[in-house]
Structure 1
């Protein structure tokens, strides 16, 4: 954990989520694993699911080292049966889910004219349908706990980015799903919000859509002049799920250093360069 992250982690009480169960889809790696760690550091019992048993095992060991209870089960968010088993198992083992983080996602660069129907459908199935599956299957537990749902989306949901037609469609759908659930589930005491990360350094997601040499070029187009940290996104999720945000629902929180302000032209140009250098990227 970086010094910057350590400062973040010390700002809120360590027992902020004591006696609460947090379920994170895609929690075995990347940003979602960082989110799971942040909740664990603040006292939560943490459940994670993902498609890779190896990643889940490693994540489970790391989370257990933080001292709390951990539940991990292999599940593909596109498969309602697998996901139900994971969500039900988490509730039975750790107690009703009080916070659901829908983070499982897929991404790659592709011009729309060469994007296959299967590639488009795969991203929509993981990001949008997977988010709905998780929220719907966790509803009974969230209703009992008067819980919170946090969706992890992307700038592509709010602004056109070249070579991201599949991601933009999927994440825009997730954003509207978030708002609809805030409207419909508010009377049950369930809040629904989203975190919209900008470019986060040293993550698989960034590696899929940019070359390492591009990163320095990005900084000139980010007002805060640095890449995001996993911890920046994680603490935003912690805040939205915490008692500090009990009157916040239906809200998209951009955690991007101002990246969205100048537009997507720099992303588009770098994406074109990457595809030209590696047509299969």
Structure 2
């Protein structure tokens, strides 16, 4: 009987979901892998037999995560700013020394709530640089190597539910994620017949350390988000990691060019999950939410 990994599919039960060797020997790079969703995916992939590389800008965070997860399997931490094409190329070169990657997960992100008229060009450049250009840099760096060597590869991008329709108050992210979804579908066609699959997950609200509190900084905003979700709960990192594991596995080999929304049905309540904030927040709230310089994961 095959070994099974017990991975919760609901909040109150556990079901055997995956073989523990589902991702055996697959070499996977996760950008923004030191915290939040990236860390959760890294942990699940390790449990399923993968060799995992995590990258981000904060080396101390990456090393801490690598130390925490080392007991689950081989994990390597790489410091890299995905906005810097040369840095990305150097990172991918270093990974390829041990053999080609099999999977790239573009998870690095930046986002904040703000009135668009309050944002500087630099605020747009920062988010677009991380989310859209970072995704493009890493995808091309891996894709060119895969194509040159005829190596089959899989790219999984992390998008957002508002990407196809936009959302008020997170405009830099909405612009960037829309581009990520266009890239996903375009390269699914262009590279599909050469063995490279492109897919994306668009998650709804999932509590993570740091990012979640920045986007929903007050209890009443969390309540609003819950009320918009038919399941009346937030998603979990484990649920997203389970979906990601399936999409990067060989078992999903006929899935290509898809953006899978994972939000408990929240999107069906109306487009743009942050668009209603203009009716709720007061002037002093907007002042407190203005983006401040910080280090991204």
Q: 1:59 aligns with which of 55, 65, 69?
A: 65
Equivalent pair of 1:28/1:56 in contact (CA under 8 Å): yes
Partner of 1:145: helix, strand, or coil?
A: coil
Q: Tell me the distance in 1 between the aligned counterparts of 2:93 and 2:175.
A: 30
Aligned counterparts, 1:39-58, within 5 A: 39-58=45-64
- Equivalent residue, structure 1, for 2:111: 107
Query: 1:164: how far off?
Result: 1.4
User: After alignment, is 238-247 or 129-138 more displaced?
Assistant: 238-247
What is residue 233 of structure 2 aligned with on the other side?
Answer: 226
Would you tell me which structure has more helix in proportion to its own residues?
1
Residue 6 (structure 1) shift: 10
Q: Distance in 2 between matches of 1:48 and 1:185?
A: 25
Q: CA deviation at 1:85?
A: 1.9
Please list the CA deviations of residues 101-155 of structure 1 after superposition, one character each: whole Å capped at 9, or x if unmatched.
0010100111111111110111111100000000111124444430100000112
Offset of 1:71 from its aligned partner? 1.6
Distance 1:5 1:73, change over 3 A: farther
Give deviations 1:142-183, integer Å, cap 9, x for gaps.
Answer: 444301000001122122321111111100000000111101
Of the structure 1 ranges 143-152 and 260-269, higher mean CA displacement relative to structure 2 is found in 260-269
Counterpart selection for 1:241 from 245, 248, 251: 248
Instruction: State the 4+ residue runs in structure 1 displaced beyond 6 angstroms.
Output: 5-9
Judge conservation of contact 1:97–1:141 (CA < 8 Å) in 2: no
Tell me by how many angstroms 1:81 deviates: 1.7
5+ residue gaps, structure 1: none
Quick one: which of 49, 73, 80 aligns to 1:75?
A: 80
Is 1:204 the counterpart of 2:210? The answer is yes
Question: What is the number of residues matched between the two proteins?
Answer: 279
| TM-score normalized by the length of structure 1 | 0.92
- The whole-number CA distance in structure 2 between the counterparts of 1:55 and 1:271 is 35
Does the CA-based 8 Å contact 1:8-1:231 persist in structure 2? no
SS in 2 for 1:155: coil
Task: From the superposition, tell whether residues 103 and 58 of structure 1 become closer, same or farther in structure 2 (CA, over 3 Å).
Answer: same
Unaligned stretches of 5+ in structure 2? 1-5, 290-297
**CA distance, structure 2, for counterparts of residue 117 and residue 200 of structure 1:** 29
2:28 to 3, 22, 27: 22
Contact 1:91 / 1:141 at 8 angstroms: preserved in 2?
no
Q: CA deviation at 1:265?
A: 6.6
| Alpha-carbon separation, structure 1, partners of 2:196 and 2:256 | 9
Taking only aligned residues, the RMSD between alpha carbons, in angstroms, comes to: 2.2
Q: 1:191 aligns with which of 189, 193, 197?
A: 197
